[in-house]
């Protein structure tokens, strides 16, 4: 599939507009770099004031080239940029504006930016910049930048908001022999966004991992949707800067809830399956370990060393990083007893002593790696007379090659030994300068694994089968509006209104809801209701609305909690049960005082809070204190709720960065023959049902669906089909009724759409189990899919059908689709339904 940004990322033709040979200019540097790079496409120089530049012919304009141009690198004066882009004779697909935004013709820089954006949109030209670094694309040999150092070809893509950071990172990566597929900066961000580039890189076969340098995000939904989609397939590592400016720039809605943008950004990344780092070195360390052949299945680390000090340093670093040291099982202890001298302690970290030979180190590694309680091994080597660095590296690499677990290393004293580094890397061992670096890198693996699990959590919008009382909740809002001539920006709810709103979402409230004393409305503190059935520490649940990422839910101790225990956990809604449990686990780990019996009631309370913020965009802040906790519920003892009556919302979750599971699409349906089926969107836990469904299809049905002979879905395909972002794709399942069949539910039909790269159309597919065909399942699913696509705002629903699939072509025609030959494949037919 071709993404519309591919002409920008991997162009076949490049024009340097404003090319010059004047020494010391931006134009000269860019022109030289483009001409000197081994670019496999066509290069054109454009400047109306020159006939030749650097002994190359020059065109007066892009139009004079006489052919379509994929990418224009514009280094012309700012005043000329609008005219260059607005030339109707030009067939230009994308542009990188390196020119700095000045004030041409008396206009302000902001006016100039708006003009550029308007012209680019009208001419359908995608633009990076202004003040952009340019584009590096290693597989086609393109260096269209002003100062990029030589770039090693590789499989990492670097996307940055800063050209200076691109240059610095390339300098940093070169001696480490870290290669890139693409390097690109957004510059002033006038058009192309992070989300669009992530979508393009997801489809790029040359890119296997993505590095992001982020300073700010403009479109949270687009960014999160693309980031979550990319991270399902390719590791993504994020370096975020700008924390030092937050206290100056952030907009705090009230003094009662002080949530920093950095805390919210952390919460966003945890839900996106990515890893966040703090330095250049960490960025590349994370990229290296995430690109390893083997992935850790858990967080338990073993350390094997030929010296006590490196082993202790690594163990201390693990403690600081929150990495668990594995406990060796009895089989491992017995094998180590046979291998090692009697006076060596056979625990983790394992010190083999300075006289350990390469073979002893290799044997010890093999034993430890075979322990089921060990998820990864870090092997440390200090220079010793008994074992040279290169001999030990060969021995360690040989063991790592056959291992099914990641092996990291730190060969001390080998910084200037490329032979040692290359030997380890050839064995799949990621080598680091220090033991601390190696442990830190493993902590990124552990964080990545945890965040990937959170990524798979189904984002539900409501808690259980009992829906909220939306009418009662909306009466709170209408009551506020009725009492005022015009709606103010923010209103703090009274105790009675707070009770009504919380009760509508099935939260248990004390006899009277207390308002915190700093709130002017209300009558002060009220009795806290019945005493708790068991003692618990004070728990506070906070909801704040971030200006970029929308609502965030925070679980925190009450203000009187000692500072050493006053740590909190933040999550972006919607919360699944697993996410709520993880928030509570974090609170228990920090305070250590929450009893087991309190967990379930607090999970329910967090889930109800999540349902409230998903459904009501007009709730801007919320602060709840849990007092009494019973076996079946947590009772709210005090509440503060701040609402914005002007934010009624569209019902499409536009106020949220993550689109929830669309529970409103669930339904029980009766087919024309009287059979009842259940229809609902697909969930991640449906992977086994999906695998069984595809395997049960006839060979012909599978061929018509996938266009090739497929026997069963691969794990990657299963993940792709069941782990969907409901904001950009939808799969509706038709399932048998368990009560009717007396057996477990099974899929009998699937209809899905996926957003196309143009963002205005969607690709659809429908498949029905052979035994259920011609019973109305396909028509029912497609009609519901069309309705959902229309509500989403798509203009077209389109699909591809094999020319020999007469039944599907006839079915599509009956549902209103038009058909035409596929321009790219004579064996296929394109079917299209206009929705708007």
Domain count, the chain: 5
> Is 136 part of a structural domain of the chain?
no
Q: What are phi and psi of 622, to 5 degrees?
A: -150, 140
Q: Which residues of 577-615 are buried (b: 16+ CB within 10 A; e: fewer)?
A: eebbbbbbebbbebbeebeeebbbbbbbbbbbbbbbbbb
The pLDDT, as a whole number, for residue 461 is 56
Q: Say whether both 312 and 385 belong to one domain.
A: yes
Beta bridge partners of 543: 553, 622
CA quadruple 261, 266, 270, 276: dihedral sign: positive
Residue 465 lies in a domain: no
137 has a pLDDT exceeding 90: yes
**Which pair of structure tokens corresponds to residue 525?**
């503190």
**The two structure tokens encoding residue 328:** 């060796």
- Quick one: pLDDT at residue 189? 86
Percent of the chain with pLDDT over 90: 46
pLDDT tens digit string along 329-372? 999 999 999 999 988 988 999 999 888 899 999 999 999 999 99
* Cα atoms in the 13 Å half-sphere on the side-chain side of 532: 18
592 falls within a domain: yes
Rounded (10°) CA dihedral 263, 489, 472, 470? -50
Distances from the Cα of 599 to the Cα of 272, 528, 581, 634, angstroms = 25, 21, 8, 9
CB within 8 Å of 316: residues ≥ 6 apart = none
Are residues 630 and 687 both part of a single domain?
no
Side-chain-facing half-sphere of 80: CA atoms under 13 Å:
15
CA distance 785 to 764: 9
Stretch 490-495: mean pLDDT, rounded?
89
Q: How confident is the model at residue 712 (pLDDT cuts 50, 70, 90)?
A: confident
157 and 121 in a common domain: no
In angstroms, the CA 234 to CA 218 distance is 23
| Residue 590 vs residue 116, higher pLDDT | 116
Per-residue pLDDT at 248 exceeds 90 = no
Please give the Cα distance from 558 to 565 (Å, whole number): 10
Q: Residue 330 — φ and ψ, nearest 5°?
A: -60, -35
C-alpha R_g of the chain: 30
CATH of the domain at 238: 3.40.50.261
pLDDT score of 643 more than 50: yes
Instruction: State residue 245's pLDDT score.
Output: 62
What DSSP character marks residue 200? H
Two tokens at 16? Answer: 């340097």
Residue with tokens 């925190």: 556
Of 31-35, 548-552, 709-713, the one with minimum mean pLDDT is 709-713
Structure token digits, residue 623: 């602060």
Say if residue 820 is in the same domain as residue 676.
Answer: yes
pLDDT by residue (tens digit) across 518-546? 433 333 332 333 444 444 556 789 999 98
Separation CA 326–CA 371 (nearest Å): 9
CB 524 within 8 A of CB 517: yes
If asked whether residues 298 and 323 sit together in one domain, one would say: yes
The answer to whether residue 105 scores a pLDDT higher than 70 is no
CB atoms within 10 A of CB 143: 25
Which CA distances in Å does 209 have to 156, 159, 232, 298? 5, 11, 11, 21
For 78, phi and psi rounded to 5 degrees? -55, -40
Cβ partners under 8 Å of residue 28, min gap 6:
20, 21, 22
Q: Cα angle at 525 between 522 and 530, to 5 degrees?
A: 125
Range of the domain at 92: 1-131
Cα 577 to Cα 582: distance, rounded to the nearest angstrom: 9
Spatial strand order of the sheet with 42-46 comes to 52-53, 56-59, 42-46, 13-17, 69-74, 92-97, 126-128
Q: How far apart are the first and last CA of the chain?
A: 24
Residue 249 has pLDDT above 70, yes or no: no
Whether the ω angle into residue 276 lies within 30 degrees of 0, i.e. cis, is no
Per-residue confidence at 621, pLDDT binned at 50, 70, 90? very high
Q: Which is it for the CA torsion 641, 642, 644, 645, positive or negative?
A: positive
* pLDDT tens for each residue of 680-707: 999 878 888 999 999 999 998 888 888 7
Averaged pLDDT, 656-660: 87
Query: pLDDT-derived band of residue 558, with 50, 70 and 90 as boundaries?
Result: low
Long-range contacts of 580-589 (CB under 8 A, 24+ apart): 580/606, 580/607, 580/610, 582/454, 583/553, 583/555, 584/555, 586/555, 587/539, 587/555, 587/557
> What is the C-alpha separation between 439 and 317, in angstroms, rounded?
7
10 Å CB burial of residue 815 (0-12, 13-18, 19+) is middle
Same domain, 691 and 605: no
Categorize the per-residue pLDDT at 749 as very low, low, confident or very high, splitting at 50, 70 and 90. very high
Cβ neighbours for 422, distance < 8 A, ≥ 6 positions apart: none
Secondary structure class of 71 (helix, strand, coil): strand
Q: What is the pLDDT of residue 530?
A: 41
For residues 372 and 443, membership in a common domain is answered with: yes
Q: What CA–CA distances, in Å, run from 259 to 228, 264, 569, 606? A: 23, 7, 11, 18
Q: Classify residue 281: in a domain, yes or no.
A: yes
Rounded Cα gap, residues 123 and 196, in angstroms: 18
Q: Which of 392-406, 568-582, 591-605 has the highest mean pLDDT?
A: 392-406
Task: Provide mean pLDDT across the span 286-292.
Answer: 81
**CATH number of the domain that 515 lies in?**
3.30.470.20
Q: Are residues 335 and 382 in the same domain?
A: yes
676 contacts 287 by C-beta, under 8 angstroms: no
Identify whether residues 485 and 577 lie together within a single domain. yes
- Residue 195 CA to residue 236 CA, distance in Å, equals 13
The average confidence (pLDDT) of the chain is 85
Q: Which residue has the higher pLDDT, 146 or 35?
A: 35
**Ranges of H-type helices in 376-494:** 389-401, 418-426, 435-456, 470-482
Judge whether 772 and 749 are in contact, CB under 8 Å.
yes
Q: Is residue 461 part of a domain?
A: no
Omega before 349 cis (within 30°)? yes
Q: Are 157 and 275 in the same domain?
A: yes
pLDDT for 526 = 29
Quote the pLDDT of residue 579. Answer: 85
Quickly count helices (H) and strands (E) in the chain: 27, 35
Binning pLDDT at 50, 70 and 90, where does residue 81 land?
Answer: very high
CATH number of the domain that residue 807 is part of: 3.40.630.30
Mark which of 83, 101, 131 sits at the end of a domain. Answer: 131
Maximum mean pLDDT: which of 259-273, 366-380, 404-418, 649-663: 366-380
Q: Are residues 696 and 822 in the same domain?
A: yes
In this structure, are 282 and 313 located in the same domain? Answer: no
CATH number at residue 81: 3.40.50.720
Strand arrangement of the beta sheet that strand 275-277 belongs to: 142-145, 134-137, 180-185, 153-160, 209-214, 236-240, 275-277
Q: Is 140 contained in some domain?
A: no
Q: Which of 287, 306, 336 is the last residue of a domain?
A: 287
pLDDT for the residue numbered 836: 73
**Structural contact between residues 350 and 336, judged by C-beta atoms closer than 8 angstroms:** yes
Given 423, 456, 489, which residue is the final one in a domain? 456
463 found inside a domain: no
Task: Report the candidate in 349, 362, 280 with the shortest Cα–Cα distance to residue 317.
Answer: 349
CB 478 within 8 A of CB 622: no
């Amino acid at each position: 599939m071709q993404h519309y940004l591919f002409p920008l990322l991997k162009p076949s033709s490049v024009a340097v507009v404003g090319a010059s040979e004047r020494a010391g200019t931006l134009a000269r540097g860019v022109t030289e770099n483009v001409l000197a790079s081994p670019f496999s496409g066509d290069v054109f120089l454009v400047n109306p004031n020159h006939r030749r530049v650097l002994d190359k012919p020059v065109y007066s304009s892009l139009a004079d080239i006489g052919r379509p141009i994929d990418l224009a690198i514009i280094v012309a004066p700012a005043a000329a940029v609008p005219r260059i882009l607005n030339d109707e004779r030009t067939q230009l697909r994308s542009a990188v504006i390196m020119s700095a935004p000045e004030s041409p013709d008396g206009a302000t820089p902001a006016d100039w930016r708006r003009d550029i954006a308007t012209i680019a949109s009208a001419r359908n030209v995608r633009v990076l910049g202004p003040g952009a670094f340019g584009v590096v694309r290693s597989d086609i040999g393109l260096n269209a930048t002003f100062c990029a150092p030589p770039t090693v070809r590789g499989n990492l893509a670097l996307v940055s908001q800063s050209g200076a950071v691109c240059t610095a990172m390339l300098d940093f990566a070169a001696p480490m022999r870290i290669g890139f597929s693409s390097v690109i900066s957004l510059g002033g961000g006038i058009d192309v966004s992070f989300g669009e580039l992530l979508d393009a890189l997801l489809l790029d076969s040359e890119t296997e991992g993505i590095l992001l340098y982020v300073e700010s995000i403009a479109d949270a939904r687009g960014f999160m949707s693309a980031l979550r989609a990319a991270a399902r397939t390719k590791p993504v590592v994020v370096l975020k800067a700008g924390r030092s400016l937050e206290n100056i720039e952030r907009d705090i809605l009230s003094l009662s809830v002080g949530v920093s943008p950095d805390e919210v950004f952390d919460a966003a990344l945890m839900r996106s399956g990515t890893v966040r780092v703090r330095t250049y070195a960490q960025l590349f360390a994370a990229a290296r370990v995430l690109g390893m052949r083997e992935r850790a299945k858990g967080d338990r680390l073993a350390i094997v060393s030929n010296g006590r000090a490196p082993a202790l340093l690594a163990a201390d670093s693990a403690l600081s990083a929150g990495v668990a040291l594995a406990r060796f099982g009895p089989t491992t202890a017995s094998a180590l007893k046979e291998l090692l001298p009697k006076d060596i302690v056979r625990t983790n970290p394992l010190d083999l002593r300075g006289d350990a030979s390469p073979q002893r180190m290799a044997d010890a590694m093999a034993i430890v790696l075979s322990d089921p309680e060990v998820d990864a091994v870090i092997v440390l080597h200090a220079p010793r007379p008994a074992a040279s660095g290169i001999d030990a590296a060969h021995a360690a690499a040989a063991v790592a090659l056959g291992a099914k677990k990641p092996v990291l290393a730190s060969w001390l004293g080998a910084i200037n030994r490329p032979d040692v580094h290359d030997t380890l890397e050839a064995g799949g061992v990621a080598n680091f300068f220090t033991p601390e670096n190696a442990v830190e890198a493993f902590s990124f693996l552990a964080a990545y694994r945890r965040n990937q699990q959170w990524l798979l959590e189904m984002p539900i919008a409501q808690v259980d089968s009992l829906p909220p009382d939306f009418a009662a909740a909306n009466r709170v809002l209408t009551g506020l509006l009725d009492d005022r001539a015009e709606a103010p920006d923010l209103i703090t709810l009274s105790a009675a209104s707070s009770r009504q709103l919380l009760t509508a979402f099935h939260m248990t409230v004390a006899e009277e809801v207390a308002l915190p004393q700093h709130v002017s409305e209300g009558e002060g503190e009220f009795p806290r209701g019945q005493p708790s059935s068991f003692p618990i520490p004070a728990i506070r649940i906070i909801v704040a609305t971030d200006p970029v990422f929308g609502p965030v839910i925070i679980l925190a101790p009450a203000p009187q909690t000692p500072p050493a225990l006053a740590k909190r956990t933040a999550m972006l809604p919607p919360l699944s049960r697993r996410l709520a449990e993880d928030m509570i686990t974090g609170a228990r780990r920090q305070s250590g005082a929450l009893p087991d019996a309190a967990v379930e009631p607090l999970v329910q309370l967090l889930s109800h809070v999540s349902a409230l913020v998903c459904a009501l965009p007009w709730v801007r802040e919320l602060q709840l204190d849990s007092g009494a906790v019973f076996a079946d519920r947590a009772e709210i003892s005090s509440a503060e709720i701040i609402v914005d009556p002007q934010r009624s919302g569209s019902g499409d979750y536009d106020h949220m960065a993550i689109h929830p599971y669309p529970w409103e699409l669930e339904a029980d349906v009766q087919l024309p023959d009287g059979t009842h089926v259940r229809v609902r969107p697909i969930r991640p836990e449906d992977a086994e049902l999906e695998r069984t469904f595809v395997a049960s299809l006839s060979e012909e049905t599978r061929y018509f669906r996938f266009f090739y002979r497929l026997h069963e879905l691969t794990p990657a395909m299963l993940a792709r089909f069941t782990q969907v972002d409901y904001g950009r794709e939808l799969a509706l399942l038709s399932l048998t009724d368990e009560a009717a069949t007396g057996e477990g539910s099974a899929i009998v039909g699937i209809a899905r759409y996926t957003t196309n790269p143009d963002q205005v159309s969607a690709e659809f597919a429908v498949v029905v189990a052979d035994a259920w065909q011609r019973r109305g399942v396909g028509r029912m699913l497609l009609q519901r899919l069309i309705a959902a696509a229309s509500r989403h705002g798509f203009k077209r629903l389109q699909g591809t059908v094999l020319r020999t699939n007469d039944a599907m072509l006839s079915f599509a025609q009956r549902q209103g689709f038009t058909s035409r030959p596929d321009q790219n494949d004579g064996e296929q037919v394109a079917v299209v339904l206009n929705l708007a």
